[in-house]
Amino acid sequence: MRRVVRGFWGPRQESAEQLAARWSTMLDRFTRLLPETTGTWRTVPASGTGETLRPDEESLLGALRATQAADDWSAADGTSLRLLADGAEPGWKVEVSGLAGGTPEYLLQSLVATIVSPDAAELPDAGLLAAVAESWQPDYGDVSDRAVTAALKKEAGFRIGTPSVGWLGYLSAGRVARTPADSFPEREELRTGGVLLTLASPGDTVAVVDAYRTLKGSGALDPLPQPMTGPAL
């Protein structure tokens, strides 16, 4: 099964050292949540050969600075990094890509983890989304797959690039304030001030569409106003 664990936010200027700390925190939690990976990662550069690295701050800082040294790097857009779990067990693939630290007015910053696992595997989806949320403090995030995205587009008018949810969703404090209090009882408040919502079981696209409509109707899934001036609603 293929799923994505994602977080999105607006402009937030951060140094390479700050980004390395966030990356290290998240990857350490991913390694504990996904024992099928070895805890070693390989960079996936736009060109050239990738390098194997451990998820410590020093190694990640080196990888981020290598990205920043590229001719086409723009500090305003942010610093991108793409990593692939090295030596994962058969049937598993974990790829993580991020764009962060920039201050663009029209381009969201993001962290997207794509996880492919055997169909029978039970993944700690809530733990993975919490790891993304507490490491990166996004405006919103979700755990989803292609079937959910297709259902949202077909049945609820979802447009790529706008806030959405999957069978799990994360909302920052400003979005939580717009969430109907009694509509989603399965929730966990995180130390970010945001909330992780359990909205459906994996594969239950009908329940996800219903939740999306409710949240969109309440304003909890409004896009960040553009030009964007801050990381969260």
Three-class SS of the chain:
CEEEEEEEECCCCCCHHHHHHHHHHHHHHHHHHCCCCCCCEEECCCCCCCCEECCCHHHHHHHHHHHHCCCCCCCCCCEEEEEEECCCCCCCEEEEEEEECCCCCCCCEEEEEEEECCCCCCCCHHHHHHHHHHHHCCCEEEEECHHHHHHHHHHHCCCCCCCCCCCEEEECHHHHCCCCCCCCCCEEECCCCCEEEECCCCCCHHHHHHHHHHHHHHCCCCCCCCCCCCCCC
| pLDDT, mean of residues 209-230 | 97
pLDDT in tens, 153-175: 999 999 999 999 999 999 999 99
Q: When comparing pLDDT for 50 and 199, which is higher?
A: 199
Sole residue written with tokens 């966990």: 188
Domain boundaries, the chain: 1-138, 139-223+228-232
pLDDT of residue 182: 86
Question: Could you tell me what percent of the chain has a pLDDT over 70?
Answer: 100
Which tokens belong to 45? 């550069």
pLDDT of 139 over the 90 cut: yes
pLDDT in tens, 84-96: 999 999 999 999 9
Residue type at position 81: L
pLDDT in tens, 29-82: 999 999 999 899 999 987 778 899 999 999 999 999 998 988 678 889 999 999
pLDDT of residue 71: 65
Q: When comparing pLDDT for 10 and 46, which is higher?
A: 10
pLDDT of residue 46: 77
pLDDT of residue 85: 97
Q: CB-hemisphere CA count at 13 Å for 7?
A: 27
- What 51-60 contacts at long range (C-beta under 8 Å, 24+ apart), as own/partner pairs, is 52/86, 55/23, 55/24, 55/27, 55/28, 55/31, 56/24, 57/17, 57/20, 57/21, 57/24, 58/20, 60/19, 60/20, 60/23, 60/24, 60/27
Average pLDDT, the chain: 96
